[in-house]
Amino acid sequence: MQLNKLFIGGEWTVSNSDEFFETVNPATEEAIAKFPKGTKEDVKKAIDAAQSAFPKWSSLPAPSRGKILFKVVELLRNEKQRFSLLVANEMGKAMPEALGDVQEAIDVFEYMAAEGRRLFGHTTTSELHDKFCMTIRRPIGVVGLITPWNFPVAIPAWKLAPALICGNTIVFKPSSDTPLCALELVKILEKAGIPKGVVNFVTGSGDVVGDEIITNKKVYGISFTGSKTTGEDILKKAGIKKVGLELGGKNAIIIMDDAKLDLAVEGVVWGAFGTTGQRCTASSRVIVHNKVKQKFEELLKKRVTQIKVGYVIKGADVGPLINETARQKTEKYVKIGLEEGAKLLCGGTKPKGKGFFYHPTIFTNATPDMRISKEEIFGPVLSIIETNSIDDAIDITNNVEYGLSSSIYTENMKNAFEVINKVDTGITYVNSSTIGAEVHLPFGGVKGTGNGTREAGIEGINEFSETKAVYFDYSGKLQKAQIDVS
């Protein structure tokens, strides 16, 4: 079995702990590789390496940093198939989705590499004579990146690329469920020419490795994607530093009585059961108009019962959950849904044999206040809720603590704009599913989904840079703003 190391100061090194954990294929339950259980001392070494590398890396012109990121793009393109197979085996994604995961990483590195030629500030007028005002971007410093398992290449890329182009140095902790994908991405960065100490990679538990990254005073920024509970804990522990959080969702698709139902069904199936429901943007609720509810459910059930669940390398449509804990959580919520009085339309069982599989599950006759309609399950479970108007559908959509993604299927422009303007989410799709974000647009949400930051696009640059105001006074005398105004 492959035995891996940490990457600190440009060197592959062993951990102080001499202890290891295994990553497994969730479809076969077979071990893939072993990784070190990093210690606080390992993290401190990584932070010191990042701090030492910061002056030189941050002073390198941004277009030169961009050239290295463009090299990452080239290397990832050349190895897209290999990376995708790794994603499919370590995380369990179907091959088309695994290829999409890697393509997303390619796209974000390409976008951020080009930002090296921009990194825009602003110029503006002064209230005083002979004075010039502008803003520039400055890197944060050493930043900690803590990433989840569900997009094991794409989400690390979403954080690494903007952090690097802005001139930061990095301590990177991946999920312990998918560290091999992360390690291979770090190898790509190394091969592309990232200087020693700029990117450091430490595996291990959140309680040990994660806590040291979060609390260490030499780390000036944190970017985390994961659960709301962990995000709240990070805010309590981080102290005064820049923190970006993306914490999940309970996303709804509204289907109005004028919707194209065949199109809506495809969107719901993709949104609810793509990645086995393990996306923060997954469509876990459908709010359907009572005039078309019966017809929609007939079409949806027919489509979902055709889905092939199994080992994605062998051609299945939907793969496993990430681990047994995730499957048990799904089973728990199916039981809760039945106890709450929702009706099982299909699914609700797990296949026999190896692998953490669970059949796509649909509840109908759910109500907005049921736990299956309000709490994030992060598995292949969909709740159907009936509505009789656009206003009621919007109220139901907003009746959760999260606010990440939303969708409406309608041919009525007014309905579409009602949802755009009144639904409390960071993303809204019209006649499309709740998943499918593009890397040049901001990604993130409101309420319990995060703390106001956004990833991707120009907002990714904002997350990983600070804004400095600059004043040039060429009047030859002392001028006092707000006082010497004439």
Q: Any catalytic annotation for residue 181?
A: no
Candidate list 90, 115, 246, 418, residue with the active-site label: 246
Place of tokens 């598995």: 379
Output the six-digit token pair for 386. 């009936």
Dist. CA 62–CA 128, nearest whole Å: 32
Dist. CA 310–CA 335, nearest whole Å: 23
Strands 242-246 and 402-403: unpaired
Q: Any catalytic annotation for residue 280?
A: yes
Dist. CA 37–CA 44, nearest whole Å: 14
Are the CB atoms for 395 and 370 separated by under 8 Å? no
Candidate list 166, 181, 280, 346, residue with the active-site label: 280
Output the six-digit token pair for 154. 């794409």
Query: Which DSSP category does 280 fall into?
Result: T
Dist. CA 20–CA 200, nearest whole Å: 18
Q: Exposed (0-12), middle (13-18) or buried (19+): which is 138, by Cβ within 10 Å?
A: middle
Are the CB atoms for 347 and 383 separated by under 8 Å? no
Report the SS3 class of residue 123. Answer: strand
Are the CB atoms for 387 and 289 separated by under 8 Å? yes
* Catalytic residue numbers, as ranges: 246, 280
